Amino acid sequence: MQPLTSSELRRRFRDFFVARGHTVVPSSPLAPLGDPTLLFTTAGMVQFKPYFGQDPERLPYRRAVSIQKCLRLTDVENVGRTPRHDTFFEMLGNFSFGDYFKKEAIEYAWDFSTRELGLPADRLYVTVFNGEGGQAPPDEEARAYWRAVGVPDERIFALGKADNFWGPAGGTGACGPSSEIYYDLGPEACTCDGTCTPGSDCPRYMEYWNNVFPQYDAQADGSMPLLARPGIDTGMGLERLALIVQGVSSIFETDLFRPVVEEVARLAGMAELPPLGRPEEPKGVALAIIADHVRALTFALAEGLAPSNEGRGYVLRRLLRRASRNGRLLGLTEPFLARAADVVVDHFLADYPELGESRRRIQGVIGREEENFLRTYDRGFARLEGIIDVAGKRGVRQLRGEDVFELHDTYGFLVELTEEMAAERGLGIDRAGFDAAMAEQRARARKATGFAGARKGEADEGPEWIVLTDAPGSEFVGYETLTQVSPVARYRVLGMGEAEIVLESTPFYAESGGQVADTGTLEGRGVRMDVLHVRKAGDAIVHRVRLLEGTLPVDEVRAQVDGVKRAATRRNHTATHLLHAALRRVLGTHVLQAGSLVAPDRLRFDYSHFEAPTAEQLRAVEDDVNRAVLANFPVAIEHRTLEDARNSGAIALFGEKYEDEVRVIRILDDERGDLVSAELCGGTHVSRTGDIGLFRIVEDASIASGTRRLEAVTGQLLVDWSRDEDRRLAEVARAVNVRLEDAPARVTALVAEVAALKAELEESRKGGLLDAVRTLAEKKVEGAKGAWVVGQLPPADAGALREAADVARGALGSGAAAFACVGDGKVAWLAVVTDDLAKSLPAAEILKAGGVGGGGKPNLAQGGGKDVAQVPDQLRRMAEFLSARLESAMADTN
């Protein structure tokens, strides 16, 4: 088994299934598209749910392979306390929709594990369904297929429904048995009395691949007839697979976590890393929690999600504050999470380039959120200590609900954070009392404000509103003006210098329909505020502000929208409408909008389409939009009934709710009378298409099965983007010392030259490596049962190491060897045994004797490590082991 990087594992998994007729389907977003039942994507099959049960002939493919980004909070309390639990993870999956079934799925899983990755077959165990409950029989079919690939009965375990039966949440629908593959991490990983088996709580047996066989259709009466078209749904955790293949003891030691762990440890001034994934190591737990949570935040923020007080945003805020608090446990008193996120971006950039495009946003959001939290953390922590002291004096083991609510409301301590901190002191919290205090606050707010929340029948959450006028809502005047003097209807103080304000009339656009909120200023007598965000709450428009001068209340303000940002946003919004129409003209009328983001600095457009557009098609779309821009068509705003608007050809977005009277944005070729675009939209737009300036597509990518994402720039942003492109091209030309027009040919030639030099260098290194093996073999020690040698070699790739193993066997005659290849701060270990001794002296035992994890074949084992300083001691221990086993005197191992 070779210690492969996570990038190599992704590639090998994808290539393995592509070679077996599977279509590569990109990861769907962490926020599932069109599935309100899930906060986040929790498994690879989420995006494929509509495919199961359909007629396969109507699907774009019948076999799929994906690497899905997932986020689950099921195990958040265990993160860092075990070797394998995390919140954000990547799930490798292969799927069949009415195509192959159990036999092929089992063969694929076994071949990939044992042949492609080289996992030792004798360390693999499988589980099958035991028929618990009697509704479905034991899965003897799966057991037979596992036997057929070579798994003996003693390594096949039959488990019950909880482990090996997948069923629908509602009790009806597709369901079926599952079969899991476990890897034996060895007795050193055991935390029980040694009686553990696959499926037990002991971490010795690591479940890494789950094969689900939906073959029944559960009925309301309890019967389960067979499905007409059974499918395959599999999932393998990349993190756990990396743990196994890289020979480490926890997922936090793999290359998926290690870079950010090391960076946070460096920032905390830690001389060496503590053990990770062990509950008895508090600093190791803190490092693991931070690394896990920062990964989750980085990937979520790259998709446009943001921390908030509800739904997905609340989860992100909880993870961020939990990570920041664990930084305090390491002695980090200043914001550090943005730096940690930057390491995540750098490490995953090659496999997820969208992280690089969102780097500035990720850093900005995380930085602001952590600064806001830390601003009140010390005072909140001191208050919590006081509350705990009072509880101790009263002899109670539970914090009062009203105290927990005070920490939440005043200091930003989310209830889960307080609960966790209290548990560390052996205390619980009165969750029911907290919920009651929260409900009481909402009731007060509802009574004081007199306006409903964002959804019908729901109160607007937060501190109590101070009502100044009896205005029932807000009038939006931002279509006509960017400046408005208005009375303040109500306000409330949020803490940390921020507040929310409702005006009787406002020019500020509230975030909706994909368009971001306006920013700007509010100024009144002695008071000046920055408007940070604007949202709708029923009939009210709520401005979130930061106080710059003065204090509230103020009875009247002058509201001023940032005109530069509004103009850029208008350009991008109208360009989005032109883009939608152009896609339908070029790709087909099946194209529909699946989501959008209209911001001053960019536009993002998600659309339904089953394949990647060609470069020519994207150029045609771009040309279509720019023709409309250069023609300077008028942009008309019409108010119509919903029925009339639809009958006129205006596009209504799927899933949107519209009033009886709607606003239509219509763009007409005024010379020919042709309709260019017509959409129902409440956003802000330019008056003529020429105001957009120019339009350029900068990226097109798949974000889910049948859904793609375009990003584009307009106006001054396009000018800036073009200048950056020119600058980069000029830098390339200067670097290769040719004129700009000659740069492509010169770069192509240099790439070929570098490739040839690399090949030549590798051949040279290989020769040096083999010479070094021969030199070491001359110093072999002869024992009664064979010869042996240990030593250090220069760095080499996997192919060269295999050749080195062959040279060593030939030089030994009969015996064994262990070599450490040291380079770039890493160690690659190689253990070799001649064929006549392989059964009595497996190569992996040699590595194990030196404290090195690894595996492979009986006559060849490989392992890896990063602790170069330990190499001499490890070689010495291997030498002592070989000397004893082969009955010889010890020799100098230097």
pLDDT tens-digit series, residues 139-162: 999 999 999 999 999 999 999 998
> Which of 102-116, 234-248, 592-606, 717-731 is predicted with the least confidence, judged by mean pLDDT?
717-731
**To the nearest whole percent, how much of the chain has pLDDT over 70?**
94
3-state secondary structure of 865: strand
Highest mean pLDDT among 421-430, 597-606, 664-673: 597-606
Checking if the pLDDT of 477 tops 80, the result is yes
Q: What is the 8-class DSSP label of residue 112?
A: I
Longest dimension (CA), the chain: 100
| Sign (positive or negative) of CA dihedral 87, 89, 93, 98 | positive
Q: Nearest-CA neighbor of 88 among 216, 206, 239?
A: 239
pLDDT at 109: 97
pLDDT at 444: 60
* Residue length of the chain: 894
pLDDT band at 33 (very low <50, low <70, confident <90, very high): low
Q: pTM higher than 0.85, yes or no?
A: no
What are phi and psi for residue 800, nearest 5 degrees? -65, -35
Distance between CA atoms of 82 and 79, rounded to whole angstroms?
7
**Average confidence score pLDDT of the chain:** 88
Distance between CA atoms of 128 and 198, rounded to whole angstroms?
11
Structure tokens at 613: 């557009």
What are phi and psi for residue 717, nearest 5 degrees? -65, -35
| Pairing verdict, β 483-495 and 556-561 | antiparallel
pLDDT at 729: 85
Structure tokens at 309: 């007080």
Query: Which letter, b or e, does each residue of 713-730 get, where b requires 16 or more Cβ atoms within 10 Å of its Cβ?
Result: bbbebbeebeeeeeeeee
Q: What is the mean pLDDT of residues 861-886?
A: 89
Q: Which residues does 29 contact at the CB level (< 8 Å), separation at least 6?
A: 41, 69, 303, 703, 704
Angstrom CA distances, 679 to 85, 497, 572, 690, stand at 47, 40, 15, 19
Task: For domain 466-561, give the fold.
Answer: Elongation Factor Tu (Ef-tu); domain 3 (2.40.30)
Of the candidate CATH numbers 3.90.1150.10, 3.30.930.10, 3.20.20.150, 3.20.19.10, the domain formed by 6-253 belongs to 3.30.930.10
Q: Which residues does 425 contact at the CB level (< 8 Å), separation at least 6?
A: 388
Q: What is the mean pLDDT of residues 249-270?
A: 95
pLDDT at 496: 84
- Please name the residue ranges forming H helices in 150-281: 161-164, 238-246, 258-267
Checking if the pLDDT of 122 tops 60, the result is yes
Checking if the pLDDT of 401 tops 60, the result is yes
Domain spanning 566-723: which CATH class is it, in words? alpha beta
pLDDT at 34: 54
Checking if the pLDDT of 190 tops 70, the result is yes
**To the nearest whole percent, how much of the chain has pLDDT over 90?**
49
CATH number at 765-885: 3.10.310.40
Distance between CA atoms of 547 and 529, rounded to whole angstroms?
5
CA dihedral 476, 478, 480, 485 (to 10 degrees): 80
Distance between CA atoms of 792 and 818, rounded to whole angstroms?
9
Checking if the pLDDT of 443 tops 70, the result is no
Checking if the pLDDT of 458 tops 60, the result is no
> Which of 717-731, 796-810, 855-869 is predicted with the least confidence, judged by mean pLDDT?
796-810
The position carrying tokens 């900005």 is 364
pLDDT at 806: 85
pLDDT band at 456 (very low <50, low <70, confident <90, very high): very low
* pLDDT, tens digit (0-9, with 9 covering 90-100), for 200-222: 988 899 999 999 998 888 887 88
- What is the identity of the amino acid at 595? G
Q: What is the mean pLDDT of residues 25-33?
A: 84
33 vs 402: which has the higher pLDDT: 402
Structure tokens at 328: 């305090």
Q: Nearest-CA neighbor of 863 among 98, 192, 245?
A: 245
- DSSP notation for 374-415: HHHHHHHHHHHHHHHHHHHHHT-SEE-HHHHHHHHHHH---H
Q: Nearest-CA neighbor of 92 among 57, 59, 65?
A: 65
pLDDT band at 450 (very low <50, low <70, confident <90, very high): very low
Checking if the pLDDT of 258 tops 80, the result is yes
pLDDT at 765: 65
pLDDT at 524: 93
* pLDDT, tens digit (0-9, with 9 covering 90-100), for 665-681: 999 998 888 889 999 99
Query: Which letter, b or e, does each residue of 60-90 get, where b requires 16 or more Cβ atoms within 10 Å of its Cβ?
Result: ebbbbbbbbbbbbbeebeebbbbbbbbbbbb
Distance between CA atoms of 333 and 331, rounded to whole angstroms?
6
- Please name the residue ranges forming H helices in 412-450: 415-423, 431-449
**Which residues, in sequence order, are bridge partners of residue 708?**
607, 702
Q: What is the mean pLDDT of residues 558-562?
A: 96
Checking if the pLDDT of 452 tops 80, the result is no
Domain boundaries in the chain? 6-253, 258-376, 466-561, 566-723, 765-885
Q: Give the H/E segment covering residue 545.
A: strand 540-549
